[in-house]
Structures are given as C-alpha cells and as structure tokens.
Amino acid sequence: MPGGRPRAFDAEAALDRALEVFWRQGYEGTSLSELTAAMGINRPSLYAAFGNKEQLFRTVLDRYFASPGAFAVEALEAPTAREVVERTILGAVELTTGPHTPHGCLSVNSVHACGPDSDPVRQEVIARRMAGEAALRRRFEQAADLPAGCDPRVLAQLVHTVTDGIAVQAASGRTREQLHQVAAMALRTLFRPPS
C-alpha cells in the first residue's frame, strides 16, 4: 500500500557530514544552514529525517561514540590496568589529532556548552562522560596490578582528567607527535617500573 517518493540522499553519509561539522564547531556554533549545506540536503528534509537540531545532535553523538570513540570501551578489555590506561590515553591522542577529522573531542567540546538553551545537550553529554568514567572505575576495581594504596575511583578520575586535557590540547592546535610525548610521560609516571 505505501511507497512514496524515495529519499534522494544517503542518511548515513549525511550523518557523517553532520558529525564532521558538529565536531569542528560544536553544538551551538553550528547553524542549520551550515548543517544542510554540509549534508547536501535542504532544511525540511533534515527535519523530516532527523527531527530537530537537538535530536540530530544526539544521533550524531551516538555515531561518534560508536565509531571514532569506540576505543574507550575496547580499551577496557585489555588484560591489565596498566594496558587499559595506556590504550585509553593513546586512543585519546589518536582520536583528537586525526589527520582526517577535526582536532579535539566532540564530547569534551560539548561540555563547554554556551548559552542556556543548549543545557539539555550539555547534560546529556555530561551523563555519557560520567558513564564512561564509571566503566573505567569498575574495570580498575577488578584489576590486580594497581599500585599499592591506589583508589580505583580516583585513578579513573585522573585518567579521565588526562584524556580531557589531551582533548583540549588537541583543540588548541597541539600536534599528534607532541601529545604522544605527553602521553608517554604520563604513562611513565603513572605506572612506574617497580623500584
């Protein structure tokens, strides 16, 4: 019975374009005109396919964590806490300094919301960040190679703080090589060879 005119664009590809723009300019910094121009569709098509700007951003956020940000959950599978931390921090450097993606982290950028109207988006991003850190903490609680007297909760917060700092540094223009040196030093001091 149904049918209808087929859509003339690829929704997945359009979401990738939207991700690129949101990643580079943030939620409030991206206008609908920029979105439609980048996605190659016009405004009513965007609203019909993705709801409104906020819903589109949430969909893009899912896509971000599912594919470029997947390293964060994959790192939890490493056998030792030492390797979990290493893969998390090095993954953050790779993610935020990719040669074909905007520098910085979509999630971290969106924490610095801006106007009061984008507070729902801000809260959603913060909730996802907290969930990721909680997973990291649970992983540390089950680790056997933590330094003596090391609180898994505080360690998770510290690692999260370092990855956040890496994202800010990348957004400030720091190169991948420089951040690799920073990451190496952080790992060297966090898990020092047994003395």
What is the closest distance, in whole angstroms, from the C-beta atom of residue 8 to a copy of itself in the complex?
Answer: 28
Q: Which does 37 bind (CB under 5 to 8 A by kind): a copy of itself, DNA, none?
A: none
Q: Site residues for DNA, window 94-153 (CB under 7 A)?
A: none
Contact 109, 118 (CB under 8 A): no
Tell me if 24 contacts DNA by CB under 7 A. no
User: What x-and-dash track marks residues 134-153 binding a copy of itself by CB under 8 A?
Assistant: ----------------xx--
Three-state SS string over the chain comes to CCCCCCCCCCHHHHHHHHHHHHHHHCCCCCCHHHHHHHHCCCHHHHHHHHCCHHHHHHHHHHHHHHCCCCHHHHHHHCCCHHHHHHHHHHHHHHHHCCCCCCCCCHHHHHHCCCCHHHHHHHHHHHHHHHHHHHHHHHHHHCCCCCCCCCCHHHHHHHHHHHHHHHHHHHHCCCCHHHHHHHHHHHHHHHCCCCC
Region binding a copy of itself by CB under 8 A among candidate stretches 5-13, 28-36, 42-50, 63-71: 28-36
Using CB under 7 A, pick the residue from 9, 65, 71, 191 that binds DNA: 9
| Size of residue set near DNA by CB under 7 A | 25
Length of the chain (residues): 195
Using CB under 7 A, pick the residue from 12, 18, 25, 30 that binds DNA: 30
Tell me if 155 contacts a copy of itself by CB under 8 A. yes
Q: Site residues for DNA, window 40-69 (CB under 7 A)?
A: 41-45, 47-49, 52-54
Q: Contact positions toward a copy of itself, by CB under 8 A?
A: 25-26, 28-31, 104, 108-109, 111-116, 118, 126, 129-130, 150-151, 154-155, 157-158, 160-169, 171-174, 178, 181-182, 185-186, 189-190, 192, 195
